[in-house]
Amino acid sequence: MFRSLVVPRAAARSAFKQNSLPKVVTPSAIARLSKRSYATEAEEKDLVIIGGGVAGYVAAIKAAQEGLKVTCIEKRGTLGGTCLNVGCIPSKALLNNSHLYHQILHDTKNRGIEVGDVKLNLAQLMKSKDTAVTGLTKGVEFLFKKNNVEYIKGEASFASEHEIQVNLNEGGERTVAGKNIIIATGSEATPFPGLEVDEKRIITSTGALALEKIPESMVVVGGGIIGLEMGSVWSRLGTKVTVVEFLGQIGGPGMDTEVSKAAQKVLKKQGIDFKLSTKVLGGDTSGDKIKLDVEAAKGGKKETLDADVVLVAIGRRPYTAGLGLEKIGLDTDERGRLVIDSEYRTKLPHIRVIGDCTFGPMLAHKAEEEAVAAVEYIKKGYGHVNYGAIPSVMYTHPEVAWVGQNEQEVKASGVKYKIGSFPFSANSRAKTNLDTEGFVKIITDAETDRILGVHIIGPGAGEMIAEGTLAIEYGASSEDIGRTSHAHPTLSEAFKEAAMSCYSSAIHF
């Protein structure tokens, strides 16, 4: 095999030596080269989507269902973007299995289950996560085939306003032209100045999903949802986790202060330490342990924290590198987001932007909504996304979920409001499950009884928030919820009773 490759090359070299310089190429050879080697002529598509993440692949499938000829370009090599590959999905696999492990270790005896020797097989834990990821990414690829979406694996950049040049992953390049183009290139972890990420010791959420051994200690820089979820995983597996947060509360913006305090209390009880209102000054990675210098956010005593691993989870930033936006005159704002109008159009109206690389919360379900709406704007001329009814969920245990405005926001708006809440400790199903931490809190307009916000900390909060989101989407009152029958015994009765306590009184509390 090798020889058959080598001989012509050797022959060519000897022939090369025999030829007198300058080396010439005949015009006919040039013509042949031209014919063979130039990039293929641009193909025309109704819609070209850059990015095969949640925003991109949903837009691609929706557009194909609407009868458009669609091409989706993705450079990762697998579809699903951050969410499926290194985000929501693998983290949930680890959260679920680490919770099971933790529960077997610490919460079986009082339930009447005696367990023998419990061992953790980290490699298998990671493998089961990878199986979930692969199944889902391949599933999306199947959906592309089913819907006749052309899938190009490669890195896209704008050649002109309607043409996209793709450097194919398998080598070579190709040009695709689109009547409409959607940019859905997502986001990446925001680096922390002074802490160089190597994904081994200084890690982002991506590295936190693939650690090869359980670290003794971990400092999480940033007490938002990503930091607390990944901190929970490793804490359950035996790591001593300390969360350092610049703000005075955990959970990031949007989480109701009362809920945030409750979550901190529960997580503290699970073994996670918190340093709030604390800023990280820098780190030293030269020793066996990473030394992290921190001090009070408003200035004060300095302290050094030791850790085997530091997880940088201070947020995410839009990812638009390599798109060649400058070639078509598209700008980003001061935070790197592509500027769009209410129909997701850039100033070049045939180019739309959806998902993490533009305005709004960086959430997969928000990106999905935008994907459907953007395609509907292209095809039908109208679409719908209610940014006031996008739920947020933190998949710790207990889960935290919310939708609409929190109490601090309602208070700041000057609207007169009422609060109804109901603890899971008074809910029959939570009692039977021996899982009673948390509560449901509903905020309503004092005059109209319209629900303004729903905040849940407790078992199954992530599922239950769908009812709150539907209520806000429909403009429901607390009485609408309170007078709707909820099955007994279910956790959702806590939701109903919280609503009842807004306009009247809860029965069981």
Q: Which is nearer to another protein, 175 or 217 (CB)?
A: 175
**Residue from 354, 329, 328 nearest 340 by CA:** 354
Going by C-beta distance under 8 Å and a sequence separation of 6 or more, which residues neighbour residue 18?
none
Dihedral-angle region of residue 409 (phi above 0 means left; psi in -120 to 50 means alpha; beta otherwise): alpha
Which residues in the 262-291 window bind another protein by CB under 8 A? none
Judged by CB under 8 A, which of 103, 359, 419, 446 binds another protein? 359
Residue positions annotated with a catalytic role = 488
Can you tell me the distance from the alpha carbon of 51 to that of 60, in angstroms, rounded to the nearest whole number? 10
The pairing of strands 399-404 and 392-394 is: antiparallel
Is residue 181 marked as binding? no
Mark the segment that binds another protein (CB under 8 A) among 41-49, 113-121, 255-263, 401-409.
Answer: 41-49
Is residue 143 marked as binding? no
Is residue 35 marked as binding? no
Q: Which tokens is 39 given? A: 């990039």
Q: Length of the chain, please?
A: 509
Can you tell me the distance from the alpha carbon of 259 to that of 276, in angstroms, rounded to the nearest whole number? 16
CB 243 to another protein: min, Å: 27
CB 338 to another protein: min, Å: 10
CB 167 to another protein: min, Å: 12
Is residue 225 marked as binding? yes
Can you tell me the distance from the alpha carbon of 209 to that of 205, in angstroms, rounded to the nearest whole number? 6
Which residues in the 315-344 window bind another protein by CB under 8 A? 331, 333, 339-344
Mark the segment that binds another protein (CB under 8 A) among 100-108, 292-300, 304-312, 382-390.
Answer: 382-390
Contacts 24+ apart (CB under 8 A), 119-128: 120/214, 120/237, 120/238, 122/212, 122/213, 122/214, 122/237, 125/94, 125/97, 125/98, 126/210, 128/93, 128/97
Residue 462 φ then ψ, to 5°: -65, -35
The one-letter amino acid code at 103 reads Q
CB 339 to another protein: min, Å: 6
Q: Which is nearer to another protein, 113 or 470 (CB)?
A: 470
Q: What angle do CA 348, 342, 345 make, to 5 degrees?
A: 15
Judged by CB under 8 A, which of 3, 35, 145, 213 binds another protein? 3
Judged by CB under 8 A, which of 411, 431, 483, 488 binds another protein? 483
Is residue 362 marked as binding? yes
Which residues in the 144-163 window bind another protein by CB under 8 A? 159-163
CB 485 to another protein: min, Å: 14
**Residue from 86, 444, 394 nearest 229 by CA:** 394
Is residue 222 marked as binding? yes
Can you tell me the distance from the alpha carbon of 255 to that of 268, in angstroms, rounded to the nearest whole number? 17
Q: Which is nearer to another protein, 33 or 122 (CB)?
A: 33
Which residues in the 175-214 window bind another protein by CB under 8 A? 175, 177, 179
What are 294's strand-pairing partners? 280, 303
47 near 69, Cβ under 8 Å? yes
Site string for another protein, 6-35 (x = CB under 8 A): x--xx--x--------xxxxxx--xx-x--
Q: Is 450 near another protein (CB under 8 A)? A: yes
Q: Is 304 near another protein (CB under 8 A)? A: no
Is residue 227 marked as binding? yes
Mark the segment that binds another protein (CB under 8 A) among 2-10, 135-143, 242-250, 411-419.
Answer: 2-10
Can you tell me the distance from the alpha carbon of 52 to that of 447, in angstroms, rounded to the nearest whole number? 46
Is residue 381 marked as binding? no
Number of residues that bind another protein (CB under 8 A): 60
Is residue 45 classed exposed, middle or buried when 0-12, 13-18 and 19+ CB atoms within 10 A define those classes? buried
| Exposure class string for 369-390: b at 16+ Cβ within 10 A, else e | bbbbbbbbbbbeeebebeeebb
CB 321 to another protein: min, Å: 21
398 near 458, Cβ under 8 Å? yes
Is residue 185 marked as binding? yes
Q: Is 380 near another protein (CB under 8 A)? A: yes
Mark the segment that binds another protein (CB under 8 A) among 51-59, 103-111, 171-179, 236-244.
Answer: 171-179
Residue list for the binding site for NAD(+) = 222-229, 245, 315
- Which residues contribute to the annotated binding site? 92, 185-187, 222-229, 245, 315, 356, 362-365
Binding site for another protein (CB under 8 A): 2-3, 6, 9-10, 13, 22-27, 30-31, 33, 37-38, 41-42, 44, 159-163, 175, 177, 179, 331, 333, 339-345, 347-350, 358-361, 380-382, 385, 387, 448-450, 474-477, 479-480, 483
